[in-house]
């Protein structure tokens, strides 16, 4: 349980410079459409996409491309579930130990106890790997990238983690809930999350009963999930916690409303009084303007740029309320807007580790994640299904330090070294003229977003650059040199930015 202090005010340090043209910000964009805009759309509404994805979006135009992203293509060809081992504590074990103690019998041997513990620890480790790879592979291969991107957004918003005895299956189910409601109605998703077995455990509502109210879920629901600090009182926390009493889980880890645990007295919450249940609390929360503002701000931070102006947040909140919290039309508006394609939004976000990895896989046509990727993600600071706390991942500048940046570069290096001669190599090998190859690489990987000096450096590298006996790019050395040049291009600052 978290008691609360005021959140520090953001210094808006990472808000893009220059003025916001609020009057036209959310109007449909009618400016130039090319590879840069198409790649920008795919980085934000997806993970980057393959060069073919970007080429298709370039020729399809903005409207058709956004339509194709907000209307999810069927993803039934993707693996529906990861393979999971039984990670429940052996239900017989503790009672067997207690019975042995009562009978004065020596309990199980140390070796047996250790073995049982280790089996659970192994299941935990294997399950986490299986879940991470399952989600990553869905992101890499999905025909509906925005659905997976929104699933990742919700995972960081309505956080739960593979801890506190939560079964892996419950987290997979929660992930499916996010996916099914990816661009659905936020109010309905919030209600579903309030009854989600993983969440009921993660924020302790399973222990929230009339005799011993537990405020953890009620508090975080308002502070982090829907309203934000300053938009409710401590009394609202206590009263809504009473309303959520009785929402728990049964022996099979399904949601269950236990009437005997529910406090059915009168509650006063955000100025309304009644015999409220959790359902009523969610309804009341979503009548508050602060709720629309919180989702507007979080969506802008995740999809457009950091520290959005309050006036812009209000404008998007108005769109959210006008659509009664249905996100598909909201995201459709944002992804078509002048704001979204403005210079101020362009490369104005830091790629998350997951985006860095998934986008790199898509760029180079690698279809399956592996343990190298999982280890790199851990060192970059993002473990799927294990967000650091209920606040989720801070994102932005928090992704960047010497260690995480070295890990990004080393991951790129290992990916480049092991991938086969896929389509990207043909795309890069336009000729044996180093200048043309370097331009092709910079166009494919960074849409040309580098300095002339860096392009010249890359050309020098492809030419042998006085460290090789051969100063000519040739069929014999092209594979090695183009891989090297691709790695160097991925080491440029622009590649860290979305």
The footprint of other proteins on residues 331-390 (CB under 8 A) is 343, 346-350, 378-379, 381, 388-390
- Residue nearer to other proteins on the CB measure, 230 or 265: 230
Instruction: Count interface residues toward other proteins (CB under 8 A).
Output: 79
Q: How far is the CB of 454 from other proteins (least distance, A)?
A: 5
Cβ neighbour number for residue 64 with a 10 Å cutoff: 12
Question: What is the per-residue binding string for other proteins in 76-105, x denoting contact by CB under 8 A?
Answer: ------------------x--xx--x----
Q: How far is CA 12 from CA 111, 309, 371, in A?
A: 56, 9, 37
- Residue 491 in contact with other proteins, rule: CB under 8 A: yes
Residue 401 interacting with other proteins (CB under 8 A) = yes
Looking at beta carbons only, is 269 or 302 nearer to other proteins? 302
Q: Which is nearer to other proteins, 4 or 254 (CB)?
A: 4
Among residues 59 and 451, whose Cβ is nearest to other proteins? 451
**CB nearer other proteins, residue 27 or residue 343:** 343
Residues paired with residue 350 on neighbouring β-strands, in sequence order: 497
Report in angstroms how near the CB of residue 317 gets to other proteins at its nearest: 23
Site residues (CB under 8 A) for other proteins, limited to 1-30: 1-5, 7, 13-17
Q: Which of 48, 137, 8, 17 is nearest to 352 (CA)?
A: 48
Which pair of structure tokens corresponds to residue 372? 């190298």
Nearest distance from C-beta of residue 492 to other proteins, angstroms: 5
Say which residues have a Cβ less than 8 Å from residue 204's Cβ, sequence separation at least 6.
Answer: 1, 214, 216, 217
Nearest to 253 by CA among 317, 134, 169: 169
Q: Which is nearer to other proteins, 14 or 258 (CB)?
A: 14
Contact set for other proteins, span 462-481 (CB under 8 A): 465-468
Q: Is the dihedral of CA 446, 16, 399, 221 positive or negative?
A: negative
- From residue 112 to residue 151, what is the string marking binding to other proteins with x (rule CB under 8 A)? -xx--x----------------------------------
| 298 alpha-carbon distance from chain centroid | 12
CB of 224 to other proteins, least distance (A): 9
Per-residue tokens: 19 = 């003025």
Binder among 107, 228, 329, 365 for other proteins (CB under 8 A): 107
Collect all residues with Cβ–Cβ distance below 8 Å to 242 and sequence separation of at least 6: 210, 213, 263, 265, 267
Which residue, 238 or 321, is less far from other proteins as judged by CB? Answer: 238
The distance from CA 478 to its chain's CA centroid, rounded to whole angstroms, is 37
Closest approach, Cβ 466 to other proteins, in A, equals 8
Q: Which of 9, 76, 402, 426 binds other proteins (CB under 8 A)?
A: 402
Q: Which stretch binds other proteins (CB under 8 A): 142-150, 291-299, 325-333, 445-453?
A: 445-453
The CA angle 206-156-177, to the nearest 5 degrees, is 60
Taking CB under 8 A as the criterion, the residue among 64, 397, 423, 430 binding other proteins is 397
Site for other proteins in 278-317 (CB under 8 A): 305-306
Residue span binding other proteins (CB under 8 A) among the ranges 62-70, 235-243, 457-465, 469-477: 457-465
Query: What part of residues 156-175 is at the interface with other proteins (CB under 8 A)?
Result: 161, 163-164
Question: How many CA atoms does the CB half-sphere of 328 hold within 13 Å?
Answer: 13
Sole window of 233-241, 309-317, 430-438, 482-490 interacting with other proteins (rule: CB under 8 A): 482-490
Q: How far is the CB of 114 from other proteins (least distance, A)?
A: 6
State which residue, 7 or 80, has the beta carbon closest to other proteins.
7
């Amino acid at each position: 349980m978290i008691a609360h202090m005021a959140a520090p005010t953001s210094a808006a340090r990472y808000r893009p410079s220059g003025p916001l043209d609020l009057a036209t910000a959310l109007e449909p964009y009618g400016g130039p459409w090319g590879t840069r805009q198409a790649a920008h759309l795919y980085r934000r509404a997806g993970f980057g996409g393959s060069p073919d994805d970007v080429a298709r979006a370039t020729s399809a135009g903005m409207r058709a491309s956004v339509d194709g992203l907000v209307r999810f293509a069927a993803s039934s060809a993707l693996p529906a579930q990861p393979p999971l081992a039984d990670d429940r504590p052996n239900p017989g074990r503790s009672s067997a130990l207690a019975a042995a103690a009562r009978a004065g019998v020596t309990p199980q041997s140390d070796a047996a106890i250790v073995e049982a513990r280790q089996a659970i620890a192994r299941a935990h480790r294997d399950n986490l790997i299986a879940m991470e790879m399952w989600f990553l592979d869905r992101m890499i291969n999905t025909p509906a990238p925005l659905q997976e991107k929104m699933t990742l957004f919700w995972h960081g918003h309505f956080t739960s983690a593979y801890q506190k005895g939560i079964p892996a299956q419950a987290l997979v189910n929660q992930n499916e809930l996010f996916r099914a409601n990816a661009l659905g109605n936020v109010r309905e998703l919030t209600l579903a999350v309030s009854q989600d077995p993983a969440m009921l455990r993660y924020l302790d509502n399973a222990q929230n009963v009339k005799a011993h109210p537990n405020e953890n879920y009620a508090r975080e629901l308002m502070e982090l999930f829907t309203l934000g600090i300053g938009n409710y009182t401590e009394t609202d926390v206590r009263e809504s916690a009473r309303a959520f009493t009785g929402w728990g889980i049964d022996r099979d880890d399904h949601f269950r409303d236990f009437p005997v645990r529910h406090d059915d007295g009168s509650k006063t919450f955000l100025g309304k009084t009644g015999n409220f249940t959790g359902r009523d609390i969610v309804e009341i929360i979503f009548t508050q303007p602060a709720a629309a503002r919180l989702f507007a701000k979080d969506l802008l931070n995740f999809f457009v740029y950091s520290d959005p102006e309050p006036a812009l947040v209000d404008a998007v909140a108005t769109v959210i309320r006008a659509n009664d919290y249905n996100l598909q039309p909201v995201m459709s508006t944002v992804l078509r807007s002048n704001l979204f394609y403005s210079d101020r939004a362009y490369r104005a976000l830091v790629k998350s580790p997951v985006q860095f990895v998934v986008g790199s896989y898509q760029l180079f046509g690698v279809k399956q994640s592996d343990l190298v990727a999982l280890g790199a993600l851990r060192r970059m600071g993002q473990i799927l299904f294990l967000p650091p706390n209920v606040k989720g991942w801070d994102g932005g500048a928090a992704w960047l330090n010497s260690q995480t940046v070295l890990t990004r570069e080393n991951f790129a290096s290992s990916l480049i070294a092991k991938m086969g001669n896929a389509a990207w190599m043909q795309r890069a090998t336009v000729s044996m003229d180093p200048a043309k190859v370097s331009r092709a690489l910079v166009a494919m990987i960074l849409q040309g977003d580098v300095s002339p000096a860096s392009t010249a450096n890359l050309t020098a590298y492809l030419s042998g650059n006085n460290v090789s006996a051969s100063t000519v790019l040739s069929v014999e050395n092209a594979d090695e040199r183009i891989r090297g040049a691709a790695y160097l291009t991925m080491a440029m600052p622009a590649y860290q930015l979305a």
